């Protein structure tokens, strides 16, 4: 909804730039198309500006700092004074959740050249602020907020000419400080430039690499040799890496350009001109998706007049001058909640008015005419039967299996884009036009059993903060590590699977059909499936979902495996690593016509809440046995009675490491694992395998099952406990975790290609479950230094993937 009392930018005004005509707010199309509309916020404004919902009412507000720090309640822009300045609130400020209590605080410098302090204003959640000192900073021109130390707390970077300092939270309620640079000039930004998961700092045309310790050496590297440059960082070309935009700030420079580097550490940085001949005086450059096409556009304004949006098109940059207003600091965000980014700014000299430029609202949905349904054909009348119909046969029972997530985490953009939330008891989902408030979530589940599911549902225990929210589930090709995933390091979302509109603020079960993702993962031979969650509606509504770390309401993948064949149930159990438990094949009459549920598969629990809405379940007289994957049994014995349940879990990570000249090489993507111990350097190999831990019950037996890929001699194979699961894509000999106690060992004599090798790992599984672990990592080594090489299939192999095979009861 548009608000009254707005001044519409004149569509007919044009400017001549390099011989092309650019219509204000448009591209030369019909009047009114792509128009930005203006609304005044305050008659006079200072330099400091911020956007956010400061009173928690679901409507975006704005803040201004000058001689008085004031926030203005949207949509009426009623002023809410916070505090007068000791000197002046200038030049920059940021809205961020400094204390992690869920509301937006303000970080503001109060000073003039020669003296000043840096403060943060603690928000009580309703818009009442308390001033708290960060440090005696002197005058500061630039302020950025981000987690530079990796501890989950926000830190503050502030700069003036000749002094770039970071103030970091010490965890005790105080602040430490570290000067990072004495470079002159102005223009500062933060972002993960080199993609290592740590937030770096940019000053003009230079960037300082985060050494992963605040007291370490922040090495400066050159992007372009300029001290005075407005700077922004983001993925401009959509290749997944960070790019840098530099603009002509204050009184130097004459072009807008973006820079890219294949390797930011070594360069070179390639310059791509957005527009040349601009002149100087563009104080702020912001990157944001202004038109909803998924690409980052450039927003900038000139102190002498003019606000521009440069649309990042596939064929090049499209320039639009959207206002003649003067612009100094500016902020970009969805202020009116229509899903389109807006611009908040003011001029520089003479206490000019502050204004909002509202982006063009999306067009209303077009109407469509539904086809007129045709009359159904008349029912066919069957001839009378001369024999009595057979008695109705009860439908065979489906099997419903509920699997708990083995990994889940949400990620957040803005100043917390490098923060990991993997240990949080809630997942948060939100899409917000204000940078720093969007969240997305990822959930990974093991795929239970060998049967194709008829239906698979993602079941969430969720609570909406307010309003309503459109929730979408997406396929995700790569499972992220919940302990390291961040907004900067998140895997891409794939195709949409299902959507659901969540309404009401009561705790509720939310189900999304993810059958397609499960079937695709099974067809690809994957052992897990990952689903991504995002909000399809933009604005304030925030959805909170219980994670696997929560005490109750954990996320479930609920699969309906389909009915048994009429008349009989065939169950196959896979041999365990002991001669006392024979492999068994059973054919027995079906004893119940009621729907049944299985006993829990790996990483499963009994269903929390109802099964998928298309099926129902009751407790069976005799629970059916889940069929495993893996090689057929070497021998079978026909028996009667209840058979044990055999569950197989595919490894979620595996890699070998090698010493000597290959000690820095990663082998995580190879289709084989090699184990060897040799006296010569460079010939020894060890292997690591990680599995999700089975869920609701302790197994009676557990075996590590390996498939031999090449004929070998006699190998003494030992399995060891490993305390921490390595990342298979970064693991090397030099960075391998230590082996712990011996789990089991066996001598493998002359294994042939395709032979299956089992190692008893029951004790390790039980110990991990008792410790509350969610995964189990096993290390393999050769116990004898004789040079014999064992080669087995990895999880990347087309068949014979490593399995953790479990027997219940």
Domain ranges of the chain: 37-358, 399-561, 645-808
Using alpha carbons only, give the angle 744, 746, 749 rounded to the nearest 5 degrees: 165
**Phi, psi of 264, rounded to the nearest 5 degrees:** -60, -25
d(C-alpha 792, C-alpha 673), whole Å: 5
The answer on pLDDT for 613 being more than 60 is no
d(C-alpha 809, C-alpha 805), whole Å: 13
Q: Are 84 and 100 in contact (CB under 8 A)?
A: no
Mean pLDDT of 95-106: 90
SS3 661: helix
640 φ/ψ sector (left φ>0, alpha ψ -120 to 50, else beta): beta
Mean pLDDT of 189-195: 93
452: nearest Cα among 397, 515, 530, 504: 515
d(C-alpha 488, C-alpha 416), whole Å: 10
pLDDT (0 to 100) of residue 363: 55
- Same CATH fold, 645-808 and 399-561? yes
The arrangement of secondary structure in 37-358, i.e. its CATH architecture, is: 7 Propeller (2.130)
Q: Are 490 and 417 in contact (CB under 8 A)?
A: no
pLDDT (0 to 100) of residue 643: 46
Q: Are 205 and 248 in contact (CB under 8 A)?
A: no
Q: Are 377 and 575 in contact (CB under 8 A)?
A: no
SS3 287: strand
Q: Which residues contact 343 (CB under 8 A, 6 or more apart)?
A: 36, 299, 301, 307, 322, 323, 330, 331, 332, 356, 357, 359
Structure tokens at 28: 């030369």
52: nearest Cα among 85, 74, 21, 84: 74
User: CB 616: neighbour CB atoms within 10 A?
Assistant: 12
d(C-alpha 6, C-alpha 721), whole Å: 68
Where do the DSSP E strands lie in 297-396?
Answer: 297-302, 307-313, 316-323, 330-333, 342-346, 354-358
The torsion angle over the Cα atoms of residues 423, 195, 284 and 16, rounded to 10 degrees, is: -130
pLDDT (0 to 100) of residue 9: 29
Q: Which residues contact 9 (CB under 8 A, 6 or more apart)?
A: 24, 25, 35, 36, 37, 38, 322, 323, 324, 357
pLDDT (0 to 100) of residue 398: 58
Lowest-confidence pick of 212-216, 642-646, 757-761: 642-646
Mean pLDDT of 525-554: 86
d(C-alpha 636, C-alpha 497), whole Å: 42
pLDDT (0 to 100) of residue 600: 35
Which tens digits make up the pLDDT trace of 208-241?
Answer: 999 999 999 999 999 999 989 999 999 999 888 8
d(C-alpha 761, C-alpha 704), whole Å: 6
pLDDT (0 to 100) of residue 337: 82
Which residue bears the tokens 């309404």?
Answer: 503
d(C-alpha 525, C-alpha 484), whole Å: 25
pLDDT (0 to 100) of residue 608: 37
Res. 258 pLDDT band, cuts 50 70 90 = very high
d(C-alpha 766, C-alpha 632), whole Å: 26
Q: Would you give the DSSP letter of residue 310?
A: E
d(C-alpha 683, C-alpha 675), whole Å: 10
Q: How many angstroms separate the first and last alpha carbons of the chain?
A: 61
Query: Cis peptide leading into 809, omega within 30 of 0?
Result: yes
Which residue bears the tokens 């598969």?
Answer: 601
d(C-alpha 459, C-alpha 553), whole Å: 9
- Exposed, middle or buried by CB within 10 Å (0-12, 13-18, 19+), for 633? middle
The arrangement of secondary structure in 645-808, i.e. its CATH architecture, is: Sandwich (2.60)
Structure tokens at 314: 């596939």
Which tens digits make up the pLDDT trace of 553-570?
Answer: 789 898 887 553 333 233
The domain 399-561: what is its CATH number?
A: 2.60.120
Count of positions (residues) in the chain? 809
The answer on pLDDT for 739 being more than 90 is yes
The answer on pLDDT for 775 being more than 60 is yes
pLDDT (0 to 100) of residue 644: 56
611: nearest Cα among 564, 561, 560, 563: 560
The answer on pLDDT for 403 being more than 90 is no
């Amino acid at each position: 909804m548009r608000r009254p009392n707005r001044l519409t930018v004149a569509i007919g005004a044009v400017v001549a730039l390099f011989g092309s005509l650019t219509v204000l707010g448009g591209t030369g199309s019909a009047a009114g198309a792509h128009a930005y509309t203006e609304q005044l916020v305050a008659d006079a404004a200072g330099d400091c500006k911020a956007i956010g919902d400061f009173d928690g009412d679901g409507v975006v507000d704005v803040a201004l700092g000058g001689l008085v720090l004031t926030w203005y309640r949207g949509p009426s822009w009623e002023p809410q004074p916070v505090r007068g300045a000791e000197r002046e609130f200038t030049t920059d400020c940021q809205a961020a959740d400094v204390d992690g209590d869920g509301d937006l605080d303000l970080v503001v410098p109060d000073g003039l050249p020669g003296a000043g302090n840096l403060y943060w204003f603690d928000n009580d959640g309703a818009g009442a602020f308390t001033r708290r000192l960060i440090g005696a900073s002197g005058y500061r021109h630039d302020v950025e907020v981000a987690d530079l130390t990796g501890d989950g707390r926000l830190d503050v970077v502030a700069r003036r000419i000749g002094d770039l300092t970071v103030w970091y939270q010490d965890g005790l309620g105080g602040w430490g400080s570290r000067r990072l640079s004495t470079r002159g000039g102005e223009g500062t930004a933060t972002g993960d430039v080199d993609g290592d998961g740590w937030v770096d700092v940019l000053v003009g045309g230079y960037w300082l690499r985060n050494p992963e310790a605040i007291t370490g050496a922040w090495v400066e590297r050159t992007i372009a040799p300029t001290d005075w440059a407005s700077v922004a960082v983001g993925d401009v070309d959509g290749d997944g890496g960070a790019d840098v935009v530099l603009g002509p700030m204050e009184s130097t420079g004459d072009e807008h350009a973006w820079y890219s580097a294949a390797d930011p550490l070594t360069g070179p940085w390639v310059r791509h001109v957005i527009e040349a001949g601009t002149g100087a005086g563009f104080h702020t450059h912001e990157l944001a998706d202004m038109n909803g096409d998924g690409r980052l556009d450039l927003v900038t304004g000139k102190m002498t007049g003019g606000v521009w949006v440069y649309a990042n098109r596939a064929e090049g940059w499209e320039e639009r001058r959207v206002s003649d207003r003067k612009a100094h600091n500016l902020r970009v965000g969805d202020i009116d909640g229509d899903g389109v980014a807006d611009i908040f700014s003011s001029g520089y000299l003479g206490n000019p008015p502050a204004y909002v430029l509202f982006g063009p609202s999306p067009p209303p949905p077009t109407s469509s005419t539904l086809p007129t349904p045709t009359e159904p054909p008349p029912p066919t009348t069957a001839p009378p039967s001369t024999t009595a119909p057979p008695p109705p046969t009860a439908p065979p029972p489906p099997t419903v299996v509920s699997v708990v997530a083995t990994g889940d985490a949400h990620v957040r953009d803005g100043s917390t884009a490098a923060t990991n939330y993997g240990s949080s008891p809630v997942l948060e989902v939100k899409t917000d036009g204000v940078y720093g408030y969007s969240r997305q979530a990822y959930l990974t589940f093991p795929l239970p059993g060998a049967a194709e599911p008829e239906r698979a549902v993602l079941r969430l225990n969720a609570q909406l903060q307010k309003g309503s929210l459109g929730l979408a589930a997406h396929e995700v090709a790569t499972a992220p590590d919940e302990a390291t995933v961040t907004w900067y390091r998140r895997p891409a979302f794939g195709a949409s699977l299902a959507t659901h509109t969540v309404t009401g603020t009561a705790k509720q079960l939310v189900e999304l059909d993810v059958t397609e993702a499960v079937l695709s993962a099974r067809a690809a031979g994957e052992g897990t499936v990952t689903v991504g969650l995002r909000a399809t509606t933009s604005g304030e509504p925030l959805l909170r979902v219980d994670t696997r770390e929560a005490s109750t309401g954990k996320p479930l993948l609920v699969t309906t495996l389909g009915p048994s064949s009429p008349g009989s149930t065939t169950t196959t159990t896979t041999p365990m690593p002991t001669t006392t438990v024979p492999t068994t094949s059973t054919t027995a009459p079906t004893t119940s016509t009621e729907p049944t549920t299985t006993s829990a598969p790996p990483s499963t629990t009994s269903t929390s809440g109802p099964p998928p809405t298309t099926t129902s379940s009751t407790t069976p007289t005799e629970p059916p046995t889940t069929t495993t994957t893996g090689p057929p049994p070497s021998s079978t014995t026909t028996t009667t009675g209840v058979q044990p349940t055999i569950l197989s879990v595919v490894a979620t990570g595996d890699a070998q490491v090698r010493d000597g000249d290959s000690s820095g090489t990663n082998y995580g993507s190879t289709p084989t694992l090699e184990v060897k111990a040799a006296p010569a350097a460079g010939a020894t190999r060890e292997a690591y395998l990680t599995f999700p831990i089975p869920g609701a019950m302790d197994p009676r037996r557990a075996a590590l099952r390996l498939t031999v890929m090449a004929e070998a001699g006699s190998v003494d194979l030992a399995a060891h406990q490993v305390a921490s699961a390595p990342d298979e894509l970064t693991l090397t000999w030099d960075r391998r975790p230590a082996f712990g106690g011996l789990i089991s060992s066996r001598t493998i004599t002359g294994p042939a290609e395709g032979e299956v090798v089992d190692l008893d790992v029951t004790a390790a599984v039980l110990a991990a479950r008792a410790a509350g672990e969610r995964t189990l990592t096993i290390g393999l080594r050769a116990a004898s230094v004789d040079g014999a090489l064992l080669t087995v299939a990895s999880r990347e192999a087309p068949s014979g993937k490593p399995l953790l095979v479990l027997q219940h009861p």
